[in-house]
Amino acid sequence: VTVVGDPRDARIALLRRGDRRALARAITLIESTRGADRAEAEALLTRIAAEGAPQATLRIGMSGVPGVGKSTFVERFGLAAIARGHRVAVLAVDPSSKRTGGAILGDKTRMAGLARAPEAFVRPTAAGATLGGVARRTGEAIELVEAAGFDLVLVETVGVGQSETAVASLTDLFILLLPPAGGDELQGIKKGVVEIADILLVNKADGDLAAAAARAVADYTAAINLLRPRVAWWRPPVLPVSAATGAGVDAVFEEIARWRQTAEAAGARLARRREQARERLWDELTAGLVARFADDPANAARLEAALAEVAAGTASPAVAARRLLDGIGANLR
Ligand SMILES: Nc1nc2c(ncn2[C@@H]2O[C@H](COP(=O)(O)OP(=O)(O)O)[C@@H](O)[C@H]2O)c(=O)[nH]1
Ligand SMILES: [Mg+2]
């Protein structure tokens, strides 16, 4: 007996089984900006959400300046995680508009082991998207890889602009990779990024750089103790690590396990996810309302007039904005 069903059912079944091609196609779909694709993507996300999101997964955000060793670390850490029985998804977020093919190629060669491993899924995001777009795609990509059975999700971002904050708001735990230098160079690390880190790793703690790395660990530990902790129940540890040799990687797993135990005991991991989901809805709603307002030609003329008035100083911005809002009503669909 042949049952001709909805082809979507077959695709979702493949995705659920962890089929990497089905997963890659699903992510391409959510990344598409075509209207028809978007409708299809939302149907897929709705089906997956209805079946219940896997909650035992761990989402780790990771950042650090270019050259600090993120790709090398992800390869080392990811393979070690697979050896510990995890299925690992790596999502690379790069909101900068011109990422060269060379950089992606370099990442691919540094993550060759992971790229080959059947227990891993590696996906760089397309360049050139807005930060809001990156956040949506990455949030949805996390939903998809988890539905496909990947229980450890690494979201890597380069240390530019606001992308770390966006990644931190999509993940359970945020790891910051630091170079083995202290003193003046320590001043150059953005304070805001240090503040959102749950674990700090000083990479390249090997060979000639081992002594400098040890000093940097002491410097960062002192600096961290002066900051207000992100949460009351966790003081971010600073550890030396070598992505090149693998030294210190076991200790990273121990700290992650300790973080997880502490977070679960405080009820904080799932609470953070709930809060993040609510924030994402507000962000989408805010952006969607503004886009619908601006897309409506009836509003465009009124908006232009109001912008000219406030620029000329003949109207107050808040008053002009309220008048525009009063006029929208039924056309904001
Ligand atoms: N000595 C040493 N070099 C490293 C280590 N990790 C990465 N590197 C080197 O640092 C450079 C940049 O590494 P990469 O992983 O591409 O950094 P990313 O730009 O942060 O992704 C490469 O030449 C790596 O071989 C490490 O633990 N020790
Ligand atoms: Mg890299």
Ligand 1 centroid to Cα of residue 104, in Å, is 14
pLDDT at 269 over 70: yes
The encoded tokens of residue 142 equal 């996390």
Residue-level pLDDT at 101: 47
CA dist 84 → 55, 60, 123, 163, 248 (Å): 19, 16, 22, 30, 16
What integer best gives the mean pLDDT of the chain?
Answer: 87
pLDDT at residue 127 is higher than 70: no
In this predicted structure, what is the pLDDT of residue 189? 64
pLDDT at 99 over 60: no
CA 191/CA 295 separation, integer angstroms: 38
Ligand 1 neighbours by CB, cut-off 6 Å: 64, 66-72, 106, 110, 203-204, 206, 209, 242-244
Select from 274, 264, 256 the least CA-distant residue to 233.
264
Percent residues over pLDDT 70 in the chain: 88
The conformation of residue 172, written as its DSSP 8-state character, comes to S
Residue-wise pLDDT tens digits, 177-222 = 999 986 665 665 667 777 889 999 999 999 999 999 999 999 999 8
> Once rounded to an integer, what is the mean pLDDT over residues 268-274?
93
> With pLDDT > 90 as the criterion, what percentage of the chain qualifies?
59
For the CA of 243, the closest atom of ligand 1 is: 27
Answer yes or no: is pLDDT of 129 > 80.
no
What pLDDT, on the 0 to 100 scale, is given for residue 102?
Answer: 46
Q: How many angstroms does the Cα of residue 312 sit away from the middle of ligand 1?
A: 53
User: Sign of the CA dihedral 107, 111, 112, 116?
Assistant: negative
Neighbours of 104 (CB within 10 A): 13
The 10 Å Cβ neighbour count of residue 42 is 13
Rounded Cα distance between 203 and 70, Å, is 9
CB burial of residue 124 (10 Å; 0-12, 13-18, 19+): middle
Residue 54, pLDDT score: 81
Residue 243 has pLDDT above 50, yes or no: yes
Distance between Cα 66 and ligand 2 center (Å): 7
